[in-house]
Each structure stands twice: as structure tokens, then as C-alpha cells.
Structure 1
Amino acid sequence: MVRRVPIGLGLKMAAAWVAIFLVLFIGFTLKDDFVALGKRILNDGGGEAQVAAGEALRIRKSLDGHFWVTARVNNENVRFLVDSGATVTSLSAETAARAGIVGSGGMPVLVDTANGMVQAQRGRIEEIQIGAIRRRDLPVHIAEAFGDTDVLGMNFLSSLSSWGVEGQWLILRP
């Protein structure tokens, strides 16, 4: 009834089980990366990122899980991360300079960002246009510390009649 397994065969079987466990563990750990890669390969979520639907503007969620929108800021194209957690629209110093927006020069404000507290200058966008949605004299924060990410905040979103997420789309209604 008792069968002895040679030591070499036993070690091979143990190594095979360890390899199977490692492959399953790595597959489970990186499943989100594999899904994102599959979407890129199949071009799922590709196509037009901003689509006008009547007066509304539909913005497709990007592969990174965020909503990105291209806007005209004082006749300059600027790519914004739409962030309902940001109270005020924020521009990098480089974007502000390119769009001709200058800081007020007064006391800087402290802005709580995902990367911690930073000092920023107050400024104003003369005109911002996203699709058919146009706003004038929009307050902004300007700082070097924002890096290369420009953020469209609640001061813009709350100027709309409504906005919301429907599936993979952000809908902005003027």
C-alpha cells in the first residue's frame, strides 16, 4: 500500500507545484495590468475622447481611469484632468505663461494637493472653452509645484447646469 517516490522525482513535483503557485500569484497580482494591456491591444476605449451630443459634451474615460479634456484657454490648447475633488482650477506655471495668465502677485495661497500642500498664486483665465461650453473670467491657481498636470476643478464644473458620469462617459451640460 505504501509507495516510495524517489527523491529526484519528489523534488521535481515540488518544484512544479511551486512554479504553478508562482504563475497563479503573479497572474492575480498583475491582473489589472493585463486587462489594461488587453484594452490597448484591442483599442477598447479608443476613438474620439470628446464628443458633442447636442449642447452636452461627452468625455470618454481614459485607460488610466481618469477623465481628460482638451480646452482652449485664451486661444491655447490645454489638456486638463477633470477633478471634482479640486475646488479651484489649477494651472502649471508653464501652461499659465503659454496662455498669458499672470499671477496676482499678492500673498500666495496654500493649496492642498494629492502631493501635499503647495503655495500657489491666484490668477484668472480670460476665456476657457471646452467644446461649445465657454466661460469667462474663471479664477485659477498657478504654481510650479503642479508639474505638468493642469486640473479642471469644481469652480468650472459648478458653473454648468449639470455634470455627471454615465458608464465610461463624463457628461457636461452647459
Structure 2
Amino acid sequence: MSDRGADLFFYALLLILPLAGLIARRPPLKQTVKMALAWIGIFAVGLLAVSQRDRLPGIFSDQRTSGGETRIRQDPDGHFYAEVEIEGVSRRMLVDSGATTTALSVGTAKALGLDLNANPFAALIQTANGRVAADTARVKEVRVGSIRMHDLGVVVSPAFGDTDVLGMNFLSRLASWHVDGRTLVMTATDRGAAPPAE
């Protein structure tokens, strides 16, 4: 069974259990229909909220900021995802210490209005799926919680799909970063304002 099929089976089971309990109580038909519709409505709203989690970061936030420190809880899939603002465009980005450079999807690059034709030579990037050609660009500002970085190099390629990644060129400009249990802790530094050579 595929992951999607397993998810659908799980959600169907969650819906069937309260409905089965309702039917077992044998209330009058009109009351049964009302309560069944109420349960279906509650389930639909919950499912919609979970499926739109990426677009509702303020409600389902795994990211906390305190002073110059930003803490991100580990996602159930084992990764860390940061709520990032790039030049005013909000994205949920995978934090990947295995990525040398911050990588953006074509959709994010378009939303930012990046000029991908400024450099006529594509960069060759080593990914988990092999080497891919990517355009290079720079973004003026990247914000993660209280962390603010200026003039960050990025790569853009259709091969990245819809995934946006914060790479080592971001992490290396922090005062520190480490994983504490199931939490990624990133500490800001003034060096974020002035980039090193990338």
C-alpha cells in the first residue's frame, strides 16, 4: 500500500469509528443523520486544517524565537522545517546541513522576481538524485525568526520540484547551530549582515 493509500485508510478509520459508535447507540433516524453530518463536518475541517498546515504557520508553528535564538521542533518525518521570509515572501523550508547552498524552487524564484539570466553559466549541483544544472542568484534578505541575513547566494532548478532548502551557506553564518534532542537551535549573529565570500 502506498503512503497516500495508508493515510486515506487511517483517515477513513478515524471517521468510521465515531459513526459506528453513533449507530450502535440506535438513536432516532433524524438525530442519527444530524450527528453523523456533524462528525463528518468536524472531520472535514480537521483534515483541511492539517492538509493546509504549510500555509498556516501561525497556527501550526513548530518554530519559537527568544531573543537571538530560534528553536525549531523536529517534524514527524525526521526533518527540520523553518518558517522563512525571503524578501517578504513566506516559505516553509527544509533545513539541510548536507546542502552546500540554499536552494529554491522555480516557483519561489518567480515569486521573488529573481533574474535567473544574470549569470549565463549554470552551476552543477550534486544532489541525492545525481548532478543537476542550476541557475545562481542572490537574495537581499532572508529572515528566520529573529535571524536576519543579507545578500545570500541561492541556486534554482526545476529538479528541486517544490522544495526550498536552507543550506550550509546560511547555517555557517550563524553564531551557532546545533540539535538538542528533537529541537534545532539556531543563534543569530551580527555577521549575518555582512556575508563572507561564497
* TM-score, length basis structure 1: 0.72
Structure number, greater radius of gyration: 1
2:170 and 2:129 map into 1 onto residues whose CA distance is 22
**Structure with greater proportional strand content:** 1
| Partner in structure 1 of residue 97 of structure 2 | 84
Tell whether the 8 Å contact from 2:73 to 2:182 is kept in structure 1 after alignment. Answer: yes
Note the aligned Cα RMSD (angstroms). Answer: 2.2
User: Where do 1:43-122 residues align within 5 Å?
Assistant: 48-103=61-116, 104-122=118-136
Q: Which amino acid aligns with 1:69?
A: A
Q: Secondary structure at the match of 2:83?
A: strand
**Which segments of structure 1 move beyond 6 Å, counting only runs of 4 or more?**
none
- Percent identity over the alignment is 44
Tell me, in whole angstroms, the C-alpha distance in 1 between the residues paired with 2:101 and 2:111: 19
- Output the CA distance in 1 between the equivalents of 2:159 and 2:72: 27
Take 2:132 and 2:152, find their aligned partners in 1: how far apart are those partners? Answer: 21
Structure 2 spans left out of the alignment, 5+ residues: 1-5, 15-58, 189-198
Aligned mates of 2:165, 2:151 — CA distance in 1: 16
Q: TM-score, normalised by structure 2?
A: 0.63
Q: Specify the SS of the correspondent of 1:134.
A: strand
- Cα distance per residue 1:92-129 (max 9 Å; x no partner): 11111101222233210110111111100110011111
Counterpart in the other structure of 1:167 = 181
Any idea what SS the aligned residue of 1:107 has? coil
The question of whether the paired residues in 1 share the 8 Å contact of 2:175 and 2:187 is answered with yes
Give the conservation status (yes or no) of the 8 Å contact 2:67–2:146: no
Distance 1:130 1:60 in 2: 14
2: CA distance, partners of 1:116 / 1:94: 22
Structure with greater proportional helix content:
2
- Gap regions ≥5 residues in structure 1: 1-32
Residue pairs, 1:15-26, within 5 angstroms: none
Q: CA deviation at 1:73?
A: 0.5
Amino acid at match of 2:86: V
Query: By how many angstroms is 1:47 displaced?
Result: 5.7
- Give 2:166's match in structure 1, choosing from 149, 152, 171: 152
Q: 2:111 and 2:60 mapped to 1: Cα distance?
A: 28
